[in-house]
Amino acid sequence: TISDLAKIAKKKVPKVVFDYVEGSALDEVSYGRSKAAFDRVEFTAHTLRDVSKVDPSIEIFGKKVDLPILFSPTGYTRFMYHVGEPAVANVAAQNNLIYSLSTMGTTSPKELADQVPQVRRWFQLYVMQNRKDSLSVIKQAKDSGFEALILTVDTPVSGLRIRDIKNGLTIPPRIRLSTVFAIARKPIWWLNLFTTKKLEFAAFRGWNKSLVELAAAIFDPATKFEDVKWLQSVWSGPIIVKGVQNLEDVKRLAKMGVDGIILSNHGGRQLEKGPVPLELLSEVVKVVGKKVDIYIDGAVLSGQDAYAAVAMGAKAVFIGRAYLYGIMAGGERGVQRVVEIMKRDFVNTMALTGARNIAEVQKIGARIRPL
């Protein structure tokens, strides 16, 4: 299971690294609620159907994807495993899935395209305080063959992640007296850090800004709906808006003609005690599902979780922590194992509910049991 991989990962990387992946904002209530929502899901089972062959594939923007499970953009991926984003993208390519590269990635758009040219790739973007900076990053994505932009809108400021604050997280890690003891406990991780290329935010190479200055430049608290229109004017491909947390915003974005919406609370890492994406899903799909593709993320830790979201109307789910557990546990092989586990669970649940394809999954449906 993914939980088993998380246990292995915890033994392989320093505490500051594992806590960065595992942790969320403040008391971590939001993430706990997201996990609890999946625990309350109830499936409908149809029997006496021929499920000797089931097909979990879907189409996204006119192209087949083998499983409705996509790779979320995650920052600092080389912090978790020294190869970083290309290892994940390679797994996505091998399994005909979509990989999303973060603005805060440790691999640049060009580097990813050069190393894994065959992967379908989307680029996650923040509207930056200086729009010229945004345009510079957008150009990198366009020139490197990224087919869609994911605009993240739930970060007017950074969330308060207590684990990271207590651990004194810095990118790259500072060498302190305590580092000597950390090296002794996790020598392989530290050896990889010291013997591979510098850990940095690759899209901003050459900016000569500190981490604090960079964060201030990337997160613009003045971002508005008008900025979505601006993005539509400078990007000709699909635009997916990530971090939407209420129906009013969903309806407004759908009216503006965005191509996709990701219901997301940023894995519980931004607003503490905010809405739970899975609990919003059915109503959102009912209101705008025919106009725009609706995706979901947050606490998707099994194939059954993915099935639940798709059965409730999601086009697909995005996974983040799940594949980061895999990459910490075993590098690229660990990520591949995550895909195998989630596909096994998803296909098994399809057969047990009597669904032979994704259309039947959504026709059969699922619900969240009331408290």
**What pLDDT band is residue 117 in, cutting at 50, 70 and 90?**
very high
160 band by pLDDT with thresholds 50, 70 and 90: confident
Output b/e per residue, 10-32; b: 16+ Cβ within 10 A.
bebbbebbbbbbbbbbeebebbe
Q: Tens digit of pLDDT for each residue in 167-200?
A: 777 766 666 656 666 767 888 888 888 888 887 8
Is the pLDDT score of 218 beyond 80?
no
User: If we measure between CA atoms, which residue out of 56, 39, 26, 54 comes closest to residue 317?
Assistant: 56
| pLDDT in the model for residue 212 | 58
Confidence band of 271 (pLDDT split at 50, 70, 90): confident
Range with the lowest mean pLDDT among 139-148, 176-185, 239-248, 249-258?
176-185
User: Quick check: 303 pLDDT over 90?
Assistant: yes
Position 213 scores a pLDDT of 65
d(CA 330, CA 126): 30
Mean of the pLDDT values across residues 76-95?
Answer: 96
For residues 233-254, average pLDDT: 96
**Mean pLDDT, the chain, whole residue set:** 92
What pLDDT was estimated at residue 208? 58
Closest C-alpha among 333, 330, 320 to residue 21: 320
What's the pLDDT score for residue 364?
Answer: 97
What is the per-residue pLDDT for 186? 85
**Structural domains of the chain, ranges and CATH numbers in brackets:** 2-365 (3.20.20.70)
pLDDT at 270: 84
CB atoms within 10 A of CB 348: 14
Which residues are catalytically annotated?
266
For the whole model, what pTM was predicted? 0.93
Rounded CA gap, 100 and 297, in Å? 13
Instruction: Report the phi/psi class of residue 234: left, alpha or beta, with left for phi > 0 and alpha for psi in -120 to 50.
Output: alpha
Q: What percent of the chain has pLDDT over 70?
A: 94
C-alpha distances (whole Å) from 218 to each of 158, 164, 212, 215 are 10, 19, 10, 5
The helix or strand, by DSSP H or E, that contains position 225, with its residue range, turns out to be helix 225-234
Task: Write phi, then psi, for 143 (nearest 5 degrees).
Answer: -65, -20
Handedness of CA 50, 345, 78, 60 (dihedral sign): positive
